[in-house]
């Protein structure tokens, strides 16, 4: 297994604006590391730089302690799975899987041993003679994975490999890929724009935006303690509810979007620097339904989505849409005034100007359950 180290990695084209800005990162061996961010954030470019498919403008890239800046892809001992699978249409499944081993002149007996072992693992044994056009999307994806696995490279790079699949198949393939990575002990670097994939698959996640690292951490850390407004709005489904707020220390109140009046505790007020313009955030599951005698606010439902196992209710707050997510099935209609309970302890506080987190929401009984 191998570690990957990046020191001040920068990428630009024609000496124009940097696509990536001074990336400093260490990916440990055996780790499932996810690069996530919107389109154009630089995540695929960084993956291609690790693979050796893109040159490095500045900085040092090391694999297993050795600088690889000028090392060609074939000498980096890694495999890669692409978004479009990159299967040869005129070749059978068996030929596609073995193509890389044949190019490396691996012996016939060793090729056969690896083929049988890998296809049994991936559930492809009955499809070896088929052409890619005779396979479903999920089967083609498994062929692409098998081609990476059969190489026995200790590092596997994946560039949005599930984006062409339907939602149900993506969910099952997430499980398959994660199990495969754990079973083989691979160091896996996975690029996606889908934060659900990032949250459910990664040991650690790096959030990229405009070529810069926004935050690195495990999924729960990013969810509970987003370092800035971008991470707060990007991580989580639905995203964190955000609103501009004014703090009135004399009356111990927070006024959010000129509509929600929330009682502020002394502790909260002491943590907000004087004169700071603030934005507050609250997760959808912390915007809770309240019995009439417990309600702190009444909000008008503008949309209701009943998914069977849970219900999401959208409320309009000035020009912002806030979403509540409650388990079970709720008989709420659009236009209804819904009693809710909002506690300042469930609010994350951000500096509006810089976007940085001032205070995370306090842990509550609604948080992590330990067993």
pLDDT tens for 59-91 read: 999 999 999 999 999 899 999 998 888 899 999
**8 A C-beta contact, residue 58 and residue 7:** no
Is residue 42 situated within a structural domain? yes
Give the C-alpha separation, 182 to 201, whole Å: 11
Residues 210 and 249 in one domain: no
Is residue 365 situated within a structural domain? no
Give the C-alpha separation, 156 to 187, whole Å: 6
pLDDT tens for 156-201 read: 999 988 887 788 888 888 888 898 899 889 999 999 988 889 999 9
pLDDT tens for 201-212 read: 999 999 999 999
Residues 140 and 175 in one domain: yes
Give the C-alpha separation, 239 to 285, whole Å: 11
Mean local confidence (pLDDT), 108-136: 91
Residues 258 and 201 in one domain: no
Least confident of 7-11, 49-53, 290-294, 318-322: 290-294
CA distance to 68, 70, 88, 238, per residue, from 310 (Å):
49, 52, 43, 13
Is residue 232 situated within a structural domain? no
CA neighbours closer than 13 Å in the CB half-sphere of residue 236:
26
C-alpha torsion angle, residues 70, 74, 80, 86 (rounded to 10): 120
- pLDDT at position 368 is 55
- pLDDT at position 290 is 92
Residues 193 and 327 in one domain: no
Total structural domains in the chain?
2
Mean local confidence (pLDDT), 95-111: 91
Contact partners, residue 196, CB within 8 Å, separation at least 6: 237
Supply the mean pLDDT for the chain: 91
Residues 32 and 86 in one domain: yes
- pLDDT at position 369 is 52
- pLDDT at position 171 is 86
Residues 201 and 67 in one domain: yes
Least confident of 149-153, 184-188, 359-363: 359-363
Give the C-alpha separation, 93 to 79, whole Å: 18
Burial classification of residue 200, based on how many CB atoms lie within 10 Å of its CB (0-12 exposed, 13-18 middle, 19 or more buried): middle
Is residue 364 situated within a structural domain? no
- pLDDT at position 364 is 52
Residues 281 and 179 in one domain: no
- Return the closest-CA partner of residue 33 out of 189, 160, 162: 189
Element (H, E) at 18: strand 18-27
Task: Give me the CATH number covering residue 12.
Answer: 3.40.50.300
Residues 18 and 167 in one domain: yes
pLDDT tens for 28-61 read: 999 999 999 998 899 999 999 999 999 999 999 9
Domain around 84: 4-224
Domain final residue pick, 194, 224, 254: 224
Is pLDDT above 90 for 318?
Answer: no
* CA pseudo-torsion sign 335, 339, 344, 348: negative
């Amino acid at each position: 297994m191998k570690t990957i180290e990046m020191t001040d990695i920068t990428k630009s084209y024609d000496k124009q604006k940097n696509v990536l800005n001074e990336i400093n990162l260490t990916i440990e061996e055996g780790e499932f590391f996810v690069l996530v961010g919107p389109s154009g954030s630089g995540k695929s470019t960084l993956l291609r730089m690790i693979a050796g498919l893109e040159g490095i403008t500045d900085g040092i890239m090391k694999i297993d302690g050795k600088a690889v800046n000028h090392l060609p892809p074939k000498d980096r001992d890694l495999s890669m799975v692409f978004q479009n699978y990159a299967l040869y249409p005129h070749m059978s499944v068996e030929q596609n899987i073995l193509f890389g081993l044949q190019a490396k002149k691996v012996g016939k007996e060793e090729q056969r041993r690896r083929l049988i072992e890998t296809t049994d693992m991936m559930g492809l044994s009955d499809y070896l003679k088929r052409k890619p056009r005779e396979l479903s999307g999920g089967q083609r994806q498994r062929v692409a994975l098998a081609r990476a696995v059969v190489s026995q490279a200790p590092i596997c790079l994946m560039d949005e490999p599930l984006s062409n699949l339907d939602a149900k198949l993506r969910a099952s393939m997430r499980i398959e890929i994660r199990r495969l990575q754990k079973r083989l002990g691979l160091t896996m670097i996975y690029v996606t724009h889908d934060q659900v994939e990032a949250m459910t698959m990664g040991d650690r996640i790096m959030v990229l935006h405009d070529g810069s690292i926004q935050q690195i951490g495990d999924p729960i850390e990013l969810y509970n303690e987003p370092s800035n407004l971008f991470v707060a709005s990007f991580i989580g489904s639905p995203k964190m509810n955000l609103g501009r707020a004014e703090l009135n220390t004399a009356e111990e109140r927070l006024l959010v979007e000129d509509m929600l009046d929330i009682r502020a505790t002394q502790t909260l007020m002491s943590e907000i620097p004087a004169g700071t313009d603030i934005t507050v955030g609250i997760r959808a599951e912390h915007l809770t339904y309240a019995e009439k005698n417990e309600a702190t606010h009444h909000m008008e439902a503008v949309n209701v989505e009943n998914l069977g196992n849970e219900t999401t209710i959208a409320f309009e707050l000035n020009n912002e849409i806030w979403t509540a997510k409650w388990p079970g099935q709720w008989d709420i209609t659009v236009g209804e005034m819904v009693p809710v309970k909002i506690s300042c302890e469930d609010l994350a506080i951000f500096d509006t100007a810089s976007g940085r987190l001032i205070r995370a929401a306090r842990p509550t009984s609604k948080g992590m359950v330990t067993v």
